Amino acid sequence: MKPSISNSDTVTQSSLRGDILFAFSLAVALYAAWKVHEVLTLLYVCALLAVVLTPVVSSVMRLHIRHRHPSRVVAILMLMLGLLLLATIFLLLTLPHLIRDARSFLQDIPHRSALMADRVRGVPLLRAVDFAAVATRLQQYATQDAGAFLYSLSTWADKLLDILTGIVLTVYFLIEGEQIYGWFISLVPPARRQRLDTTLRRASVRMERWLLGQSMLMLILAVTSGIVLALLHVRYALALAILLGVSNIIPVVGALVTGSLALLAAAMDSWTKVLSVFVFGIIYAQIENAYLTPRIMRTSVNLTGTAVLVALLLGVSFAGVAGAMVAIPTAVLVSVLVEEYVAHAPEREPPSSDNLLS
């Protein structure tokens, strides 16, 4: 007689096959996501930017133009034209100075490397360094062949293409963002949909406040550093001030890297300027961390300094500069989700007026 197979054994085998199939499908999905993680990162950055710009588009749609409100597409077009106009004015005012400073910097590298080496050689701990070889190597780097130059041009062309692709994707997300968000929310069971909707919208508000606060910090750093570097007559003051302000979009790391360039530019003239720039950097860092950041950022974003550093490290390790740029808003999103679903595990009754999908 054949042994009979009970219903429990059949259910167990079916469950085991289902678990194996689920694990295999998950592994394939993770592998596919890793293979296209650069594309996914670009999509995530564009979606995040669209989330931040959506309230601006809504404000433009509420304007009265000849007793009519602009449509969503017209509002997005007006926003993009406004941003393009601001960027054009900014480039017209700064690009000639940037080109002049960059050209002067490249011309000064081979001539001033020996002078800098003589000054550095006066430091006791650095006397054993062969600065003649360093100067020769700098001259070689400054006079590289056209092949490397063409390669750099192709690299910049790829970056420019990525930026243009990002702009197009951001526009699409702005136009169809509500439909995409509604489709995503519809995947959640109805009993939990309203709570998730309220939580994500609260995270969106914090991300908008983060961008506004970070923009203020970038502007303050650019203006103050430009004034100080100009008063100290540091070479390339305008270019360095702009780089300091723009790089501050990546907290701590961005300004630190660009600040080292300011120290290098100051070292071309005198150690007094180096000391002055270094003292300015220390004082500004103390003011920003003790006064500006708590008042501008922490009250709206509610992230500790440790959380910011951990988010930056994870973002850089995952996607480089792009990962660092979205590390803080991603940390904001994660903190809001943790606050809602971990710290406040019992479901709360969200206000019905805030739920736009109900």
Q: Give the C-alpha separation, 158 to 165, whole Å.
A: 10
Residues contacting 267, CB < 8 A, separation 6+ = 116, 119, 120, 273, 274
Q: Give the C-alpha separation, 180 to 47, whole Å.
A: 10
Query: Residue 227: what pLDDT?
Result: 92
> For residue range 272-307, what is the model confidence (pLDDT) as tens digits?
888 999 999 888 888 877 777 767 666 667 777 677
Cα 198 to the center of its chain, rounded Å:
25
Question: Where are the chain's structural domains?
Answer: 190-358
Q: Give the C-alpha separation, 246 to 223, whole Å.
A: 11
Element (H, E) at 147: helix 146-186
> For residue range 312-351, what is the model confidence (pLDDT) as tens digits?
788 877 767 777 777 888 888 888 888 888 876 554 444 4
Residue with the larger pLDDT of the pair 147 and 283: 283
Q: With a cut of 80, say whether residue 5 has pLDDT above it.
A: no
Q: Give the C-alpha separation, 181 to 121, whole Å.
A: 61
The whole-model pTM stands at: 0.65
Residue 68 φ then ψ, to 5°: -135, 155
Residue with the larger pLDDT of the pair 100 and 61: 61
DSSP state of 357: T
> For residue range 113-125, what is the model confidence (pLDDT) as tens digits?
666 666 655 555 5
Query: Residue 224: what pLDDT?
Result: 92
DSSP state of 68: B
Q: Give the C-alpha separation, 191 to 197, whole Å.
A: 12
| Residue 189: other Cβ atoms inside 10 A | 7
Q: Give the C-alpha separation, 60 to 80, whole Å.
A: 12
Q: Give the C-alpha separation, 268 to 131, whole Å.
A: 15
Instruction: Provide mean pLDDT across the span 70-95.
Output: 82
Q: Give the C-alpha separation, 36 to 232, whole Å.
A: 48
Q: Give the C-alpha separation, 153 to 17, whole Å.
A: 53
Query: Residue 155: what pLDDT?
Result: 63
Amino acid (1-letter code) at residue 272: T
DSSP letter string, 25-66: HHHHHHHHHHHTHHHHHHHHHHHHHHHHHHHHHHHHHT--BT
> For residue range 179-196, what is the model confidence (pLDDT) as tens digits?
888 888 888 888 888 888
